[in-house]
Amino acid sequence: MTLRTVLALPVFAVVCLAQGGLFQGAKVSTVRLAFTREQWRGLEPHGSGNGGVNFGRGEWLQGPPGKRNGLASAMGIEFNTVHASLTFDDREFHDVAVRYKGNGTYLEGMGAGKFSFKVDLHEFVKGQNLAGSTKLNLHSNITDPSWMNEPLSYRLYRDAGVPAPRTGYTRLYLTVAREYEKRYAGLYSVVENVDDRFTARSFANKGGALFKPVSTSLFRYLGEDWAKYNQTYDPKGSPTVEQKQRVIDFTKLVTQASDAEFAARLGQYLDLEEFARYMAVMVFLSDMDGILGPGQNFYLYLDPKTQKFSFVPWDQDHSFGQFPMIGSQQQRNNLSIHKPWVGRKRFFERVFAVDAFKKPYLARLEEFSRTIFEPQRFADQVDEVATVIRPAVEESRLDRFERAVAGTSRSMVPIKPFVKLRSKSIIDQLAGRSQGERIEDGSR
């Protein structure tokens, strides 16, 4: 199926064609989580969140060795896993593992009393799954008044030929024994977990190594001892000695190779066409809460046959230029397509100087500007999704939701007006009528 064929289909036809029964775009499912009092209290994280974080210095978003990475973890917050029961529509699971999830979203959720959850069906009952998935990510969308940034961003990546998680929507109800019964927690996104099942479905060659890096200096050489890389690259599973060495060898190339050697050998380590598509979408979305900014919110997949790395997007709640911590709104609207990253990042500086990457990257920006970046296409998607999820939006957030859908929100530029501004900026930059805007130090 060609890109033009996909674009000709209605929004939800594409969703249903591309996704399994768990991730339905045209309906809102119902999830019920039930806890005993002890289980619910056991969810409360360890740590006060008052740990010292050297913002902007070194690897400030990395957690303690062996722990998860991210802002909350770096602040000393550790999540606990508890037993619970789960009902997904009419499917019942009497013993699942549940914990809070997120970093910035968890911290913001503390004020609103609405948290994201990770549910593991397999941890306590081996083989337990739902439509082939063993883990569910229930995202609160606490930072996103439209509830659409992640679903529409991931869909955009997939339309661009980049592997990305599938999504759905659910009404979440919470029960705590002897305290409350089926209390409505609100509308949530169900986001596909990036794991071995995801890579087996998304890549031609399965069985490769999966990493979730967090680094302000991606692919910086740290020596030959993997222990110095493990926290930074956060492998999901147990990579082989050879796979670990492949990471180290790539860092050595990025850090030490001459310009000529780097250009000649880059394609041996990086799937340049996939990376061109990945970067074209990320730059269009002005996603400054990820690899372009603090160096987080993505996965790396090392193909077991080609030995090349591919990128997978993650945590897109601040996409569509909605990360106010980095740059001004004008800078995010007009983000440079030639230097979209913040400050100094040697990996990007070197890759963007290689014609074998830069030419397909600019070609994809040109192609997508005529197709999947078209503003009316996003407007149609927003309106169609809004029709589906509006009845499930919490009443306390309904006014914000309607303003986000209409594109009239004052707190941030919503999807509809943003894509008009961003599309024009990219077209003008491609035509040489504008240089775009660079964000040099991340400050507003």
Q: What tens digit of pLDDT does each residue of 294-329 get?
A: 999 999 999 999 999 999 999 999 999 999 999 999
Q: Which residue has the tokens 């064929």?
A: 5
Phi, psi (degrees; rounded to nearest 5) at 154: -60, -40
CA nearest neighbour of 108 among 317, 308, 339, 348: 317
pLDDT recorded at residue 136: 96
Q: Pick 9 or 263 by higher pLDDT.
A: 263
pLDDT recorded at residue 32: 98
Q: Render pLDDT for 56-107 as a digit per residue (tens, 0 to 9).
A: 456 888 988 988 998 888 888 999 999 999 999 999 999 999 999 988 888 8
Phi, psi (degrees; rounded to nearest 5) at 370: -90, -10
- Sign of the four-CA dihedral 318, 324, 325, 326: positive
Phi, psi (degrees; rounded to nearest 5) at 341: -85, 160
pTM value is 0.92
Continuous H helices in 160-296: 196-202, 230-233, 241-256, 259-269, 272-285
Euclidean distance between CA atoms 275 and 83, whole angstroms = 40
Give me the percent of the chain exceeding a pLDDT of 70.
92
Beta-sheet strand order (sheet of 298-302): 209-211, 298-302, 309-313
- Sign of the four-CA dihedral 67, 69, 74, 75: negative
pLDDT recorded at residue 358: 98
Q: Reduce the DSSP state of residue 389 to 3 states and report it.
A: helix
Q: How confident is the model at residue 441 (pLDDT cuts 50, 70, 90)?
A: confident
User: Which residues, 6+ apart, have CB-to-CB distance to 408 below 8 Å?
Assistant: 414
pLDDT recorded at residue 51: 53
CB burial of residue 80 (10 Å; 0-12, 13-18, 19+): middle
Could you count the other beta carbons within 10 Å of the beta carbon of residue 89? 13
CA distances from 243 to 246, 249, 272, 307 (A): 5, 10, 19, 8
Euclidean distance between CA atoms 68 and 345, whole angstroms = 23
pLDDT recorded at residue 170: 97
Task: Name the average pLDDT for the chain.
Answer: 92
User: For residue 244, is pLDDT > 90?
Assistant: yes
Pair type for strands 28-35 and 167-176: parallel
pLDDT recorded at residue 218: 97
Q: Render pLDDT for 364-390 as a digit per residue (tens, 0 to 9).
A: 999 999 999 999 999 999 999 999 999
Euclidean distance between CA atoms 219 and 128, whole angstroms = 37
Name which of 43-52, 214-223, 239-248, 309-318 the model is least confident about: 43-52
User: For residue 1, is pLDDT > 80?
Assistant: no
The secondary structure of residue 335, as a DSSP letter, is B
> How much is the average pLDDT of 136-143?
96
> How much is the average pLDDT of 127-148?
95
Q: Which residues of 381-394 are buried (b: 16+ CB within 10 A; e: fewer)?
A: bbeebbebbeebbe
User: For residue 18, is pLDDT > 60?
Assistant: no
Q: Which two tokens stand for residue 172?
A: 């979440």
Q: How confident is the model at residue 109 (pLDDT cuts 50, 70, 90)?
A: confident
User: For residue 15, is pLDDT > 60?
Assistant: no
Q: Which residue has the tokens 């009952």?
A: 125
Q: Which residue has the tokens 């289980």?
A: 39
Q: Render pLDDT for 246-299 as a digit per residue (tens, 0 to 9).
A: 999 999 999 999 999 999 999 999 999 999 999 999 999 999 999 999 999 999
User: For residue 220, is pLDDT > 90?
Assistant: yes
Q: Render pLDDT for 330-360 as a digit per residue (tens, 0 to 9).
A: 999 999 999 999 999 999 999 999 999 999 9
CA nearest neighbour of 100 among 148, 47, 164: 47
The secondary structure of residue 437, as a DSSP letter, is B
User: For residue 13, is pLDDT > 50?
Assistant: no
CB-based contact 405:380 (threshold 8 Å): no
Give the max Cα distance, the chain: 69
CA 362: distance to chain centroid?
23
Q: Reduce the DSSP state of residue 209 to 3 states and report it.
A: strand
Name which of 2-11, 113-122, 229-238 the model is least confident about: 2-11
Euclidean distance between CA atoms 276 and 100, whole angstroms = 34
Q: Pick 67 or 37 by higher pLDDT.
A: 37
Q: How confident is the model at residue 110 (pLDDT cuts 50, 70, 90)?
A: confident
User: Which residues, 6+ apart, have CB-to-CB distance to 166 below 8 Å?
Assistant: 18, 19, 20, 22, 23, 154, 191, 192
DSSP for 73-126 reads HHTT-B---EEEEEEETTEEEEEEEEEEE-SHHHHHHHHHT--EEEEESSSSST
